[in-house]
């Protein structure tokens, strides 16, 4: 495919490119056929145990890194250095409920786009009496 044919990455260009290069792709391992050799046999008994022991011995030569220990002492020290703020108690549930009702009153009694009272407007105290 020449540069003159390439005007953008569209379906026609991709089709031409894939058609030209389709022989270069290989199958993924999941799509390859697995064939078992004719002389393959499952190890059993003493031969299997001996092969496992040999394998374990071969692994002993490798050194692995151990997970760091310390229990987060650096993190604890860093957290202790942070300035202590004043305690701020959570808002009482009554306040949260009244705030939710206030927001609901705003949604029902005011226009969302203009913020002006709509046809269903009523004072908040009356709305609370009707909807509580």
What pLDDT, on a 0 to 100 scale, did the predictor assign at position 26? 65
Query: How far is CA 118 from each of CA 68, 111, 126, 129, rounded to the nearest angstrom?
Result: 64, 6, 16, 19
CA dist 68 to 65, 72, 98, 99, Å?
A: 9, 10, 51, 49
* Paired tokens of 94: 């009554």
Give the model's confidence band at 103: pLDDT under 50 very low, under 70 low, under 90 confident, else very high: very high
Task: Name the percent of the chain lying above pLDDT 70.
Answer: 88
Question: Which of the residue ranges 43-57, 62-76, 112-126 would you say has the lowest mean pLDDT?
Answer: 62-76
Mean pLDDT, range 71-88, rounded to an integer: 82
pLDDT of residue 38: 83
- The pTM (predicted TM-score) of the whole model is 0.36
Q: Would you list the domain boundaries of the chain? A: 93-131
Strand, coil or helix: 111: coil
| Other CB atoms within 10 A of residue 63 CB | 6
CA pair distance 126, 104, nearest whole angstrom: 13
DSSP 70: S
């Amino acid at each position: 495919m020449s540069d003159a044919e390439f005007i953008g990455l569209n379906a026609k260009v991709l089709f031409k490119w894939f058609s030209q290069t389709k022989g270069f792709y290989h199958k993924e391992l999941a799509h390859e056929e697995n064939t078992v050799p004719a002389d393959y046999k499952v190890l059993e008994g003493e031969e299997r145990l001996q092969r496992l022991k040999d394998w374990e011995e071969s692994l002993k030569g490798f050194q692995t890194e151990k997970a760091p220990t310390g229990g987060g002492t650096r993190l604890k020290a860093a957290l202790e250095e942070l300035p202590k703020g004043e305690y701020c108690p959570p808002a009482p549930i009554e306040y949260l409920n009244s705030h939710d009702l206030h927001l609901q009153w705003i949604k029902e009694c005011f226009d969302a786009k203009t913020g002006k009272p709509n046809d269903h407007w009523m004072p908040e105290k009356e709305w609370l009496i009707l909807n509580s």
